[in-house]
Amino acid sequence: MEPNEIIDKTIKYVRDTLEGEGSGHDWWHVYRVWKTAHVIGEKEGADLVIVELAALLHDIADWKFHEGDEDIGPKTAEKWLTGLNLEQETIAHITGIIKNISFKGAGVADHMDSLEGKVVQDADRLDAIGAIGIARCFAYGGYTHREIYNPDKKPELHENKEKYKNSDSPSINHFYEKLLLLKDRMNTKTAVEMANERHQFMEQFLEHFYLEWDAEV
């Protein structure tokens, strides 16, 4: 099968699987990560077929929604890629990226070795910040019945994955627990540049949010 055909089939599979998902990990999230990963991958000189397939499949079965089974994503991707007759080495590379892509807490280190993995992780993180990141943060907060903001609840920096996963902190806290930290967790130079602008926009948003909260504007 030609690379183009493999990508097209994978687009259709992912779209059919994730369309209409309501937590912010829907098809259009994957679409943006795929596009962004392509832009970064091209500039950074990564293998674009690996980048595109990993980006398309990275949220195919997110562990946050499968009662903590962290292997469900890589396993689902592996099954799909095996059906496309890809080489074992390519499949292992892509499933390895999917396994290591998630942010698991402010104090938990990343493990992403390959350039392709770094590119896809950067693209996924860029979609969590800026204007789109703000929209997704509150969509996810509503989906998990969180408050928008509660001045009595202070942000926490989670030192392990369990605490991060089980947190029920308000959506605004999520900025301090994850979103504002992502700028400094980008792997590639291209993504650092993109992240700076999106980061500034979130800071402006927060500034205005607190002014409105106190009826100062």
The closest alpha carbon to 188, from 103, 121, 130, belongs to: 121
Scan for tokens 């959506």, then name that residue: 171
Copy the structure tokens of residue 152: 């009595």
Looking at beta carbons only, is 52 or 59 nearer to Ni ion? 59
Count interface residues toward Ni ion (CB under 5 A): 2
Return the range that interacts with Ni ion (CB under 5 A); candidates 2-10, 87-95, 124-132, 155-163. 124-132
Looking at beta carbons only, is 44 or 59 nearer to Ni ion? 59
Rule CB under 5 A: choose which of 52, 59, 78, 122 binds Ni ion: 59
The closest alpha carbon to 110, from 12, 102, 84, 196, belongs to: 102
Rule CB under 5 A: choose which of 44, 52, 78, 124 binds Ni ion: 124
Q: What is the smallest separation between the CB atom of 186 and Ni ion, expressed in angstroms?
A: 15
Q: What is the smallest separation between the CB atom of 30 and Ni ion, expressed in angstroms?
A: 7
Return the range that interacts with Ni ion (CB under 5 A); candidates 36-44, 52-60, 160-168, 208-216. 52-60
Looking at beta carbons only, is 34 or 175 nearer to Ni ion? 34
Distance CA 119, CA 48 (A): 10
CB-based contacts of 92: which residues, under 8 Å, 6+ apart? none
The closest alpha carbon to 33, from 90, 102, 107, 91, belongs to: 102
| Binding of residue 52 to Ni ion (CB under 5 A) | no
Burial of 142-178, coded b for 16+ CB within 10 Å and e otherwise, reads: eeeebeeeeeeeebeebeebebbeebebbbbbbbbbb
Return the range that interacts with Ni ion (CB under 5 A); candidates 82-90, 120-128, 144-152, 202-210. 120-128
Q: What is the smallest separation between the CB atom of 202 and Ni ion, expressed in angstroms?
A: 18
Distance CA 88, CA 28 (A): 29
Tally DSSP H helices, then E strands, for the chain.
Answer: 10, 0
Q: What is the smallest separation between the CB atom of 189 and Ni ion, expressed in angstroms?
A: 22
Q: What is the smallest separation between the CB atom of 101 and Ni ion, expressed in angstroms?
A: 7
Give the length of the chain.
Answer: 217
Return the range that interacts with Ni ion (CB under 5 A); candidates 58-66, 74-82, 148-156, 208-216. 58-66
Which residues make up the interface to Ni ion (CB under 5 A)?
Answer: 59, 124
